[in-house]
Structure 1
Amino acid sequence: MSFLESDRELSRNSYYAATAHRSQRHAPLSGAVRCDVAIVGGGLAGLSAALDLRERGLDVVVLEARELGRGASGRNGGQAIHGLACGQDVIEAQLGLADSRRVWDMSIEALDLLRERIGKHGIDCDWRDGYIGVATSARKGRELAEWADEIETKYGYPVTRIPPADITRWVASGRYHSGIHDPRSGHLHPLKYVRGLARAAADAGVRIFEDSEVTSLQQDGGVTLRTAGGEVRAAQVLLAGNVYLRDLAPALDARIMPVGTFIVCSEAMDPALADTLIPTRSCVCDNDFVLDYYRTTDDHRMLFGGRVSYSAKMPPNLNESMRRRMVDTFPQLASTKIEYAWGGFVDITMNRAPDFGRIGNNVYYLQGFSGHGLALTGLAGRVVAEAMSGDAGRFDLFARLKHRAFPGGRLLRTPALVLGMAWYRLKDLL
């Protein structure tokens, strides 16, 4: 089974697709068009950039290989959380403390930008405030407390500490030692949000083409992109397709690894039960390296994510294995059925830091959000729009982060990563 065939299989039984109304469809590209900026990829990063570029007066075209939000943007856990997928120590080591603070502040700006766009464009996407980070052991609890101290003292970002005596009042589970609460982070229905962004971009004059996979990119002064139905001639291009770019940009493909991650969603439960599980209705994530993340939805279901896979296949017995994880966390849900189960591919980098940069002078790229991109993609779209409009200061701050290719190439990097992840799983258990 090919990568794209597997991806279609993983996306078939998505709660998001079943509950997000689609009001707009966009025809494939036909013929030749010209524009200031062409964007490859109609997910959160591409659409966010398109909206900002159009607001700056540029003529923008978006080319989406399938349908908008079909990739990770429309299938993720729906959690918009402070910071990056990597620790701030990774950023400090490369950029120093002052610039690491700038990066952290931009991750918080990303949360504000997300709320701003929901309000400005009237996007109905089930937003709720609140994130709870939980520790699965006393050792992990100490690590989480140390992180909270550092983020408050070095980065000026306070969070509420949840001591062991109080943790079950926040999350009605016996699994956790302690936790933190951040009211500024939160969660939403990602596919509804993607489609809301697309509507706002189209209303602003962005030309969007679906079912328009880019088959070649040629830099010849400007940039020419070709699809099966036509071509786009642009002054500048943004590559925002992440793991789906594949052979279009081989040098970029080597620096990210597609890792499968999976989510189940329960049947609707009694609202009173949902309220007892997570009384604040915040989203929750543990601090293991291979983590669980979950939240209750607006229609009172438990949406529970976790597990990873390094092959391109849906794991066997996904519904049951994920249901066991859910029930291990919440025995109260022992009789609750699973109605949806789906997966998708996360684009991770070696150090889990985002990978932004240029190919030549006029092809920009955004990738490597490493499972932490719901809010950050919006900020990434803004900073690349600034760069394409002549102010590259914030984009170049991210572009200074150095990234290495995964060892072994496309064929051998997966076994190498499996060994590495096995080591981190063992550390989680110690």
Structure 2
Amino acid sequence: MNISMIGTGYVGLVSGVCFAEFGFPVSCVDLNAGLIARLNAGEVTIFEPGLDELMARNIRDGRLSFTTDLAASVAEADVIFIAVGTPSRRGDGEADLQYIEAAADAVAAAMKPGAVIVIKSTVVVGTNARIRDRIRAARPDVAFSMVSNPEFLREGSAIEDFMRPDRVVVGVEDARGREAMRRVYRPLYLRETPMVVTTLENAEIIKYAANAFLAMKVTFINQVADLCEQAGGNVQEVAHAIGMDKRIGAKFLHAGPGFGGSCFPKDTRAFAATGRRFDAPQTLIEEVVAVNEARKQAMAARIVEAARKTGAQSVAVLGIAFKPNTDDIRESPALDIVRAIQKAGLTVRAHDPEAMNAARTVLPDVIWCASAYEAVEGAGVVALLTEWNAYRALDLKKIADLMAGNVLFDMRNVYKLEDVADTGLDYRSVGNGAVSITPKSIT
């Protein structure tokens, strides 16, 4: 069974490499000739732990190839995955489907009879049916099957998520599409991975509803953190206890500066917009979107206020990627926080282990530093915004000595109070109102 993977962004590249690891011949397609040249040279174009080794092995073994020739790739494919971007559309928050439509038109022109067309991109309900009808109108003489197969990959652990998922969701209309999906996911079936076989519409809604619910959990615990700060509680202890309830679960109950990334922000906006379009308002999710935006600004305001009290003119930011183990900065809370700090007239010195190259283009006025220690030199405030392992064992006494001020905002609750004792730092975490630490004492 030959697979064509259209789109070599995050989802397309990871999925293509993993399908090749399953033993299938996979041709990955992208219209960006420079990107394809880099991939053909063996360069991994995204940062994802373990992907480089997996990609190199499958290129070497002849199962994985990269091309700009979509027609040639599709013409030989039994299963054609469309994994192009669906960014938020300006104005209404709906998913922009122009790239899906362009890919579908190209597939229609080149596909062979009996092909199975799978939309892996995140799309709003009704999109698969629309694309099916679009292709059918272009090629009424060619039989094909339409499948919806949303992805549930977490950046930083995408290989594990693909190889050992909680479930595989496929929306199908006929037996040919269903059997094709059983074949491509057969290695997971042998591991007894649940496969949810449903309709096109259900598969589309499942993807958005899952991400919206997880974003709601993040927003919920962030608001609980605010309550803890005011009432003398500790959000980490609260989250641990409520997460032990199997009905709730511990994942995504980590307070911080707000959610970001390639999925949650755009998917919550699209889900809310879809609700409005179908006259079924998703008011909880609309509030999640608003609260998350407000939280980023509130976190920035804390930093600015503290910096002004120190009298120093610069703030050090540690971590720009929206989460560790990725170089993805899309809608990272750090971007909004940095811009707000700069708007207040303060200089930002920053470091990130992997995301600085991507961030330079969108934050050109930041002073980019080679290490965390270089970033904190002369800063009045240090804000730890991404919980990279590289930041978990910093020499905090050295940090204090290098700073002009002494405030450390740990917005990911990386450190414990005993870690900061006797360092000279004014330590401020998120959601911890029961205890605090200053340069003089622990109370």
Please give the range of the TM-score, normalised by the shorter of the 2 chains.
Answer: under 0.3
**Higher strand proportion:** 1
Higher relative contact order (CA closer than 8 Å, sequence separation 6+): 1
Q: How does the TM-score come out when normalised to structure 1?
A: 0.21
Q: How does the TM-score come out when normalised to structure 2?
A: 0.20
Larger radius of gyration: 2
